[in-house]
Amino acid sequence: MKNLPRFFTFASPSRFYRAAGWAIPWIYAVAVLVSLAGLYLGFFVAPVDATQGNSYRIIFIHVPAAWMSMVLYLVMAFWAAIGWAFNARLASMVARSLAPTGAAFTFLALWTGAFWGKPTWGAWWVWDARLTSELILLFLYLGYMALVEAIDDTRRADQAGALLAVIGAVNVPIIYFSVRWWNTLHQGATISMTAAPKMANTMLLSMLLMTIAFWAYAFAVVFMRTRALVLERERDNEWVRALGVNNGSVA
């Protein structure tokens, strides 16, 4: 049974604080290096697209941002639920830290999508199924953040947020399906974002690398925010006060 306690060792805020503090610079380094590789492939190796010219290169950040926005929502709901079910403070803190980054990725997916759509299909915004679902996902994030910020009692806020996040996660497939139905029904504008260029291997590889880079970035930023949140919430604990004495450096 020796392995069991070690599995949960990082559920302790103080251990997490130290371990994450050590890891964050390395994670950033990974993010930077992988994105450099991905961008190099995307801009200097991948060829020009026959129909879309060079504007298609936006997908190297549009698709990873969209994927991250969806993944982070699920991860957020997961940790929030864990925090609620097991009374695990740190899990709830991680969930709260994920929200702004997830919302930002959603916004970036919409923004880059618009900048891709304009030269390709002539419109900054099209109400196609995926963009519309992404917009609703942004609303779900904003709703979560608004709810947790509005409740002063930390425990109630964490639990309410967890319930909302789980309800949202369950509803996302339903929402996506209904939006797709709605989109095919009103197929007046025959614009489809699924008409991405046929992907050469270099394009796919570049997108994959950028996804990894975004993922690493998300880890780093979320860990950073969680550490700040740990300090804010665990202020009265011995180990945090010891930090203060040591001028912020970890003993």
Partner 1 sequence: MNWNSASEFFAMGGYGLYVWGAYGVTAAWMLAEPWLVRRRHARALRDVMERDESYE
Partner 2 sequence: MTPMAALLARDLRLASRRPAEALLPVVFFVVAASLFPLGVGPEEATLRQIAPGIVWVCALLSSLLSLGTMYAGDYSDGSLEQMLISRMSSVELAVAKCLAHWLMSGVPLIVVSPLLGLLFGLSWESIGMMAFGLLLGTPVLSMMGSMGAALTLGLRNSSVLILLIVLPLCVPVLIFGAGAVSAAEVGLSPSGHFYLLGAMLLLTSVGAPVATAAALRISV
> Where do contacts with partner 1 occur on this chain (CB under 8 A)?
28, 43-48, 53-55, 57-58, 61-62, 65, 100-101, 104, 108, 111-112, 115-116, 118-119, 217, 220-221, 224-225, 227-228, 231-232, 235, 240-241, 243-245, 247-248
CA–CA separation, 41 vs 43, rounded Å? 6
Both tokens assigned to 158 = 């964490």
Among 159, 206, 211, 226, binds partner 2 (CB under 8 A): 159
CB atoms < 10 A from the CB of 157, how many?
17
CB of 63 to partner 2, least distance (A): 23
* Residue 100 touches partner 2, criterion: CB under 8 A: no
200 torsion bin: left (phi>0), alpha (psi -120 to 50), beta (else):
beta
143: partner contacted, choices partner 2, partner 1, none (Cβ within 5-8 A by kind)? partner 2
* Residue 165 touches partner 2, criterion: CB under 8 A: no
CA–CA separation, 127 vs 186, rounded Å? 10
Identify the burial level of 237 via C-beta atoms within 10 angstroms of its C-beta, where 0-12 means exposed, 13-18 middle and 19 or more buried.
middle
Residues shown for the chain:
251
CA–CA separation, 93 vs 10, rounded Å? 13
Among 94, 110, 136, 213, binds partner 2 (CB under 8 A): 136
- Closest to partner 1 by CB, 62 or 89: 62
- Closest to partner 2 by CB, 49 or 134: 134
CA–CA separation, 184 vs 95, rounded Å? 35
Residues that bind partner 2 (CB under 8 A): 136, 139-140, 142-143, 146-147, 150-151, 156, 159-160, 163-164, 167-168, 170-171, 174-175, 177-179, 181-182, 185
